[in-house]
Amino acid sequence: MHIEVRGLKKQFGDFQAVNDVSFEIEKGHLIGLLGPSGGGKTSILRMLAGLESPSSGDIIFHGKRVNDLPPQERGIGFVFQNYALFKHMTVYDNVSFGLKVKGQSKEFIRERVMSLVELTGLKGFEHRYPHQLSGGQRQRVAFARALAPEPQLLLLDEPFAAIDAKIRTELRTWLKDMIERVGITSIFVTHDQEEAIEVADEIMIINKGRLEQKGSPWEIYKNPQTQFVASFIGESTIVENIERLKGFEEAANWPGTQALIRPEYIEIGKLSEFRLPSATFQGTVKHLHFRGSEWMVEVQVGDIKLITYRSLEKDVLQPGDEVTVLIHRAYLFNDSDTWIMENRLKVDPMPIHI
Amino acid sequence: MKKLWITLTYLVFIILLIIPIIKIFTGAWEEGWDGFVEALSRKQSLHALMMTGIIVVVVTAINTVFGVMLALYLVRAGWIGKRMKQFMNSLVDLPFAVSPVIGGLMIVLLLGPSSIMGAFFEDIGFKVVYALPGMILATLFVTFPLMVREVMPVLQEIGSQQEEAASTLGAYSWYTFWHVTWPSIRWGVIYGVVLTVARSLGEFGAVLVVSGNIMNKTQTATTLVYQDVENFNVIAANSIALVLAAFSVGLLLLMEWAKKRKEVH
């Protein structure tokens, strides 16, 4: 289903939960709504479902305005954060609910439910009650139940929040495969960037009721358009006076500008390891943290503290060691603008000063 | 010290509960089985028990339907403002705070023959006060909070997500109520029904004021007991009291059972 949202707003009393959000979603895409808790993601999802009515703005499905349609008539499936399974019904009855409401024949229901039960790997559990299932199984029941009436749009509210970390990654891949196989347009809400990046075709970053940026995960990572997006996606250190770092002296031309540097843009090592020694400078290792698959290194350069990662294959550093540091690039931002600045000495190792 | 307290507790329990029950029992049996049967088979006894029966059935039916409805609105309705909900919520408890006699008096003042509304109903041949409708109204007033207060916490606890899930699956409110909400609240409702039956069986003050206690017309079992006591007809009073007590014990057992089921679900 093709979805268009124009100027969507939602107010709860004095609180502006959603503020002028507009976007379009192509048929068959899997979209992640990503942002901090309380940012308005769930409100947007609930308005799409018809569970909440917008204060203003239009929601258009397939070119038809659906603002005044109740949830029953929108042709959507909704997976709730805590699944909201009917706890007095078996798995079979839960999944068949939407079909029974529509008055489908018994044989049809049986066939559809059994095929969904098989699809979601719940075979043999049809006669169990929700409280007899594990978290992951409940989530799959919720998914099967939402899909049973063949909705055109699937909405998932924090679908993995209530599942423990280990099964979560498994279920993520499973859900992505499943949605691809069914070919249904889907939108899911999450506050976990890793989850959004891994699962979604496209991410919409929502903060304080506004749509900050929409794009593929790679685009958003590569070209964050606002300071919020830059700091929310990936890890980063904020540097107040970037002009003191070698290669970024030009930043002094924009007073009041701060920089945001991702760990992966910083390289540390011995001077001999760098191809362009002129672009590097010296720093001191301050702390080392073992992160399971790599070292996280805090490097002190003057009064600036930088954070980067170092492979376990390389020589183990000690706090107090002198290291050579190279910063590849940084996001610069001030009140009015954000842009990416490459290390100038790396681009042009021998600048001619006239 | 501990022993003394235990003994004291037993003593209070015996004086307040056991002795009165034994007294009712022996009082009713003072002239043997025949006295008991005779007291009960008097015309006014049968009529009073019938009146009580009618009131219990009608009040319980009305209170169940409207109590559940009000609980649903107070918990779920988005179109009622927060302030309004709080106001209605505290209003529900009014009958608990007001003495039943005063509740009955309000009905007499509002719908009595000398009031405008009462005169209007009288004109169309529908007597409210000093008749069955008034007695039902008075009992409804007294029992009203019972159902609402039983169902509301259950509704709050189950939350609205299951109902929202049903609506996204295409179910409208009636279907959702019977297939999703009802199975969750039903033990709460049954508990509320038992409480309502018990309360309307035993209601005295409000009914006495509204009914006028006219023998063979507007007398209920409790007001008959009162009249028999006034007339020093102790055996009759004890016999009817015994019947009421037997019902209460039955209800008590039912209540325990319902409570257990309510906790399970």
- Cβ–Cβ contact B160 with A under 8 A: no
Stretch A104-122: mean pLDDT, rounded?
92
Which residue matches tokens 């009031």?
Answer: B115
Q: Which string of DSSP letters, residue by residue, matches B55-78?
A: HHHHHHHHHHHHHHHHHHHHHH-S
- Which residues does chain A have within 8 Å of residue B172's beta carbon, measured at their own beta carbons? 72
CA distance B22 to B44: 25
Pairwise CA distance, residues B225 & B232, whole Å: 10
Tell me, what's the pLDDT at A353?
A: 58
Residue B89 has pLDDT above 70, yes or no: yes
**Distance in angstroms (rounded) separating the CA atoms of residues B61 and A35:** 51
What residues form DSSP beta bridges with B46?
none
CATH fold label, B43-264: MetI-like fold (1.10.3720)
Across the range A111-135, mean pLDDT stands at 92
Distance from CA of A4 to the nearest CA of B (A): 20
pLDDT tens for B140-190 read 999 999 999 999 999 999 989 999 999 999 999 999 999 999 999 988 899
Question: Do residues A46 and A52 lie in contact, with contact meaning Cβ atoms separated by under 8 Å?
Answer: yes
Of B164, B170, B179, the CB nearest to A149: B170
- Domains along chain A? 3-230 (3.40.50.300), 237-347 (2.40.50.140)
Q: How far apart are CA A309 and CA A307, in angstroms?
A: 7
10 Å CB burial of residue B44 (0-12, 13-18, 19+) is middle
B180: chain A residues, CB-CB within 8 Å = 86
CA-based nearest residue to A10, from A165, A190, A206: A206
Do the bridges between strand A76-79 and strand A202-207 make them parallel or antiparallel, or are there none, so unpaired? unpaired
- Burial of residue A354, with CB atoms counted within 10 A of its CB: 0-12 exposed, 13-18 middle, 19 or more buried: exposed
CA-based nearest distance A90→chain B, Å: 13
Please state the ipTM of this predicted complex. 0.81
User: In which order are the strands placed within the sheet that holds A304-311?
Assistant: A266-269, A322-327, A281-290, A294-301, A304-311
DSSP characters over A301-338? ETTEEEEEEEETTSPPP-TT-EEEEEE-EEEEE-SS-E
B265 has pLDDT over 60 = no
Q: Which stretch of DSSP H or E encloses residue A24?
A: strand A15-25
**Domain extent listing, chain B:** 1-30, 43-264
Smallest Cβ–Cβ distance between B168 and the set A76, A82, A86 belongs to: A76
Q: Label residue A322 by pLDDT band (50, 70, 90).
A: confident
Residues of A with CB under 8 A from a CB of B: 49-51, 70-74, 76-78, 80, 82, 84-88, 97-98, 101-102, 145-146, 148-149
* Identity of the residue in A84, A88, A101 whose CB atom sits nearest the CB atom of B161: A84
pLDDT for A168 beyond 70: yes
Which residue from A88, A101, A145 is facing B184, i.e. has the nearest CB?
A88
B175 touches chain A (CB under 8 A): yes
- Does residue A350 contact residue A278 with C-beta atoms inside 8 Å? yes
Is B162–A86 a contact, with Cβ atoms under 8 angstroms apart? yes
Residues of B in Cβ contact (< 8 Å) with A145: 165, 169
Does an H or E element contain A111, and which?
helix A106-119
Chain A contacts in chain B segment 180-199 (CB below 8 A): 180, 183-184
Chain A: residue nearest B183 by CA? A88
CB neighbour list of residue B101: distance below 8 Å, 6 or more residues apart: B205, B206, B208, B209
Coil, strand or helix: which one is B168? Answer: helix
Residue type, A196: A
Residue of A45, A73, A79, A97 to mutate for B, most B C-beta atoms under 10 A: A97
Interchain contact, A51 vs B171, CB within 8 Å: no
Question: Å from B72 to nearest chain A CA?
Answer: 18
Residue A228 corresponds to which tokens in the numbers above? 């919020």
Rounded Cα–Cα distance for residues B14 and B6 (Å): 12
- B178 touching chain A per CB within 8 A: no
- What pLDDT, on a 0 to 100 scale, did the predictor assign at position A14? 86
Percentage of residues of chain A with pLDDT beyond 90: 40
Higher pLDDT, A201 or A340: A201
Whether residues B169 and A145 touch (CB distance < 8 A) is answered with yes
Q: A–B: how many Cβ contacts below 8 A? A: 62
Please state, rounded to an integer, the average pLDDT across all residues of chain A. 88
Label residue B46 by pLDDT band (50, 70, 90). Answer: very high
Looking at chain A, which residue has its C-alpha nearest residue B163? A84
From the CA of B162, how many Å to the nearest CA of chain A? 5
Q: Which chain A residues contact residue B184 at CB under 8 A?
A: 87-88
Instruction: Give the list of residues 6+ apart from residue A155 with CB closer than 8 angstroms, or none.
Output: A45, A48, A49, A76, A77, A78, A79, A186, A187, A188
Q: Which residue of B has its CA nearest to A81?
A: B161
Touching check for B250 and chain A: CB below 8 Å? no
pLDDT at residue A347, as a whole number: 67
Chain B residue closest in CA terms to A99: B169
Output DSSP code: residue A121: T
pLDDT digits (tens, 9 = 90+) for A56-111: 999 999 889 999 999 999 999 999 988 999 999 999 999 999 999 999 999 999 99
Q: What is the pLDDT of residues B100-130, one digit of tens each?
A: 999 999 999 998 888 888 888 888 888 888 8
Instruction: Tell me if chain A has a CB within 8 Å of the CB of B5.
Output: no
Is B169 part of the contact surface with chain A (CB cutoff 8 Å)? yes
Compute the 3-state secondary structure of chain B and give helix, strand, coil in percent, each to the nearest 5: 80, 0, 20
Each residue of A234-289: pLDDT tens digit? 788 888 888 878 778 877 788 778 888 888 888 888 887 877 777 788 888 988 88
Helix (H, G, I), strand (E, B) or coil at A160: coil
Distance (Å, whole) CA A188 – CA A33: 6
